[in-house]
């Protein structure tokens, strides 16, 4: 019976010391968080309320402080680790977005690039106008009766014209492929708004790069357009050809081949019905 009483007393003592331990643990946390009112005599977390022996009270306080310190260090480490993971995640996302932006920019540049002829043209165009033997010049190719383009209107509709040509171009010269000549003819037909003999848009050739494109006269000056371009903001010959190192575009080698191509390939220069976009149904029949 005496032994049973001693065991019971020991169990009660352990429970009291355990309660005192957690009371002091929460006391330390309350002080750290700034919630302590410094009224220890009336505070339920005061270890003195548990009526422990001095050595028992000292042991409880020591153990509680030691555990609280260890728990705080673990929490701080976990916070640091969580912050590190957050920083790494942010850096990864930023790097992904940066690479994605570069890829998008590259794809846009590729999309804006021109699909040039697969093979060099077998036939060189004969110039309609005479030019200097050493350095040909397009400046002599402006005739007094050539109709001027309305620059404001031309550039206003330029993007739409480029889109239409790209969607509707066909093998107009019947050589089994679609190349610069087909694009030039398609754009020429679309851009002309006059039946004047010289027209207001011309097909231009350049022997230096063995290529044909479009020229329009605005304010008595030639503006040369690459009809294969996808963007009106990046369609002038000096823009789309400036970064090429294999073929250097030099406008001094430009000359007018409109009449030559018209007679050779016998296309109807006024037949805009050949340039009709496919219908857009927007999901409806």
SS3 per residue for 159-197:
HHHHHHHHHHCCCCCCCCCCCHHHHHHHHHHHHCCCCCC
Per-residue model confidence (pLDDT) at position 277:
45
Instruction: Provide the pLDDT confidence category of residue 127 given band limits of 50, 70 and 90.
Output: very low
Residue 208, Cβ neighbours under 10 Å: how many?
15
Are 147 and 224 found together in one domain? yes
Instruction: Pick the closest to residue 20 from 12, 218, 188 (CA basis).
Output: 12
Are 180 and 269 found together in one domain? yes
Q: What is the pLDDT of residues 138-147, one digit of tens each?
A: 444 555 455 6
| Domain coverage including residue 42 | 2-94
- What is the rounded average pLDDT of the residues 236-258? 84
Q: Whole-number mean pLDDT of the chain? A: 75
In a domain, 167, yes or no: yes
Assign 67 to helix, strand or coil: helix
Per-residue model confidence (pLDDT) at position 188:
87
Q: How many structural domains comprise the chain?
A: 2
Between CA 139 and CA 119 the distance in angstroms is: 29
Per-residue model confidence (pLDDT) at position 5:
63
In a domain, 110, yes or no: no
In a domain, 23, yes or no: yes
Instruction: Answer yes or no: is pLDDT of 237 > 80.
Output: yes
Round to the nearest angstrom and report the end-to-end CA distance of the chain: 98
Are 156 and 268 found together in one domain? yes
Are 165 and 241 found together in one domain? yes
Provide the total of helices (H) and of strands (E) in the chain, helices listed first: 7, 4
Tokens of 136: 């040909």
Are 265 and 167 found together in one domain? yes
In a domain, 121, yes or no: no
In a domain, 67, yes or no: yes
Are 145 and 90 found together in one domain? no
Are 89 and 146 found together in one domain? no
Q: What is the pLDDT of residues 42-66, one digit of tens each?
A: 787 788 777 777 788 788 788 888 8
User: Which of 94, 127, 161 is where one domain is finished?
Assistant: 94
β pairing state of 221-225 and 254-256: unpaired
Per-residue model confidence (pLDDT) at position 190:
82
Instruction: Answer yes or no: is pLDDT of 118 > 70.
Output: no
Q: What is the pLDDT of residues 192-207, one digit of tens each?
A: 754 444 457 888 998 8
Percentages (nearest 5) of helix, strand, coil residues in the chain = 50, 10, 40
Instruction: Provide the pLDDT confidence category of residue 226 given band limits of 50, 70 and 90.
Output: very high
Are 57 and 179 found together in one domain? no
Are 161 and 267 found together in one domain? yes
Cα-Cα-Cα-Cα dihedral sign, residues 207, 209, 213, 219: negative
Per-residue model confidence (pLDDT) at position 228:
92
Q: What is the pLDDT of residues 82-108, one digit of tens each?
A: 888 889 889 889 888 888 888 877 665
Are 38 and 151 found together in one domain? no
Are 157 and 244 found together in one domain? yes
| pTM of this structure | 0.48
In a domain, 270, yes or no: yes
Tokens of 77: 């480490």
Per the listing, tokens 């009291």 go with 16
Percent of the chain with pLDDT over 70: 73
In a domain, 53, yes or no: yes
In a domain, 117, yes or no: no
Are 84 and 162 found together in one domain? no
């Amino acid at each position: 019976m005496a032994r049973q009483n001693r065991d019971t007393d020991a169990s009660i003592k352990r429970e009291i010391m355990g309660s005192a331990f957690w009371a002091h643990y929460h006391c330390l946390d309350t002080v750290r968080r700034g919630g302590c009112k410094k009224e220890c005599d009336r505070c339920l977390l005061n270890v003195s309320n548990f009526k422990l022996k001095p050595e028992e009270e000292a042991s409880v306080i020591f153990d509680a402080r030691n555990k609280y310190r260890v728990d705080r260090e673990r929490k701080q480490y976990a916070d640091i680790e969580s912050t590190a993971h957050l920083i790494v995640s942010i850096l990864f996302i930023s790097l992904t977005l940066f690479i994605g932006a570069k890829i998008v920019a590259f794809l846009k540049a590729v999309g804006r690039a021109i699909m040039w002829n697969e093979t060099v043209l077998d036939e060189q165009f004969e110039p309609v106008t005479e030019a200097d033997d050493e350095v040909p010049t397009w400046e002599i190719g402006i005739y007094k009766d050539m109709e001027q383009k309305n620059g404001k209107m031309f550039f206003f509709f330029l993007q739409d014209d480029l889109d239409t040509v790209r969607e509707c171009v066909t093998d107009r010269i019947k050589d089994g492929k679609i190349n610069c000549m087909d694009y030039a003819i398609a754009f020429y037909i679309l851009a002309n708004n006059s039946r004047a003999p010289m027209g207001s848009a011309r097909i231009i050739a350049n022997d230096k790069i063995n290529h044909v494109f479009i020229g329009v006269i605005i304010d008595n000056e030639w503006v040369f357009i690459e009809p294969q371009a996808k963007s009106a903001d990046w369609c002038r010959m000096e823009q789309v050809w400036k970064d090429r190192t294999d073929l250097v575009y030099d406008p001094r080698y430009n000359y007018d081949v409109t009449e030559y191509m018209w007679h050779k390939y016998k296309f109807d220069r006024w037949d805009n019905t050949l340039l009709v976009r496919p219908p857009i149904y927007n999901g409806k029949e």
